[in-house]
Chains A and B, each alone.
Chain A
Amino acid sequence: MEKIALQDIEVQVEASNWQEAITKAGQLLADDHKIDIGYIDSMIQAVNQLGPYIVLMPEFALAHAAPSSHVKETSISLITLKKPVYFGSKNDPVSIVMCIACVDKTSHMELLQEVAKKLMTDGILNKMKQCRTSEELYALFN
């Protein structure tokens, strides 16, 4: 099963802060017509309102917002950053941002489960950071 589409992956992205990092990860899905720009704003708002809890583990942030009409297709994008950004979390700095968009609360469960399994693999974050092309990162995940 393809978990993340090649066009929704980018490596060595430049972002000067966490807002820009989320925007760039979300933009991949917007360019791919899977979400509209409103969803990117919702993801940033979520961090502003609820705090940096999305930094689930050292170096890794899982950006998402509530399912809404801004989401056209359940999808995931993934970027690695050239220089890490800070969310104000204990797990800072963050070098990898994954963005999840879901049309409802349940239909993405299987997809998320597969992705979570990957993320729990030992040393996976280092391998992700070392990828120099999006094809390499794609191969690691799919």
Chain B
Amino acid sequence: MRPKIQTVCGFGCGSSLMLKMKIDDILKANHLEADTFCSDVGTCLANPCDVIFISKELGEQIKDRAKVPVIIIDNFMNTKEVEQKVLDYYKTNK
């Protein structure tokens, strides 16, 4: 499986980029494959993807309209939290 993972922040170039890098590290460490890219909250729902990783505040604005799973991250720099949520996604979407 090689999902398209979208990370989202306000403008698609600050925290979403940090989260994308974090997820890339985790995928590599766990020998998982994915296409990751970042984007802004205004356009993210129009971008084709399999799952969205996003902060709590922004996630609440899009989760009712999203057609793919929206995964909320509380602490973008916490490897444990991000890793757990990435691995859970892979487990439930084999």
A is bound by B:
yes
Within the complex, what minimum Cβ distance (angstroms) separates B49 from chain A?
A: 17
Are A112 and B17 in touch, CB under 8 angstroms? yes
A57-B77, A119-B18 given; name 16 further pairs at CB < 8 Å.
A50-B57, A53-B10, A56-B18, A56-B77, A57-B76, A62-B14, A62-B15, A64-B13, A64-B14, A66-B10, A66-B40, A67-B11, A100-B14, A109-B17, A120-B22, A120-B79
Q: Are A91 and B14 in contact (CB under 8 A)?
A: no
> What are 9 residue pairs bridging A and B, where the CB atoms are less than 8 Å apart in the complex?
A53-B15, A53-B55, A53-B58, A62-B14, A65-B11, A66-B13, A67-B11, A102-B13, A106-B13
Total interface residues in chain A, CB < 8 Å = 29
In the complex, chain A residues whose CB is within 8 Å of the CB of B79? 120
> Is there an interface contact between B57 and A112, defined as CB atoms closer than 8 Å?
no
Main secondary structure of the interface of B (DSSP, over half): mixed
The reply to whether A53 and B77 contact each other, CB–CB distance below 8 Å, is: no
Interface of chain A residues 68 through 95 with chain B (CB within 8 A): 89-91
Interface size class of B (residues with CB under 8 A): 20 to 34
Considering the complex, which residues of chain B in the window 43-66 have a beta carbon less than 8 Å from any beta carbon of chain A? 55-58, 61
Question: Which chain B residues lie closer than 8 Å to A66 at the CB level?
Answer: 10-11, 13, 40
Contact of A51 with B by CB under 8 A: yes
Tell me the smallest distance from the CB of B45 to a CB of chain A, in Å. 15
Q: Which of A113-133 contact B (CB under 8 A)?
A: 113, 116, 119-120
Tell me, in angstroms, the Cα distance from A70 to B50 when the chains sit together: 35
Q: Is A52 an interface residue (CB 8 A)?
A: yes
Given the complex of chains A and B, what is the CA–CA distance between A56 and B57 in angstroms?
A: 11
Residues of B within 8 A of A56 (CB): 15, 18, 55, 75-77
Tell whether A54 is near chain B: CB-to-CB under 8 Å: yes
Q: Kindly provide the distance from the CB of B13 to the nearest chain A CB, expressed in whole angstroms.
A: 5
The minimal Cβ–Cβ distance linking A78 to chain B, given in whole angstroms, is 14
State the Cβ distance, B39 to closest chain A Cβ, in Å: 10
Contact of A67 among B13, B56, B74, B75 (CB under 8 A): B13
Evaluate contact between B21 and A113: CB separation under 8 angstroms.
Answer: yes
Contact at A90–B56, with CB atoms within 8 Å?
yes
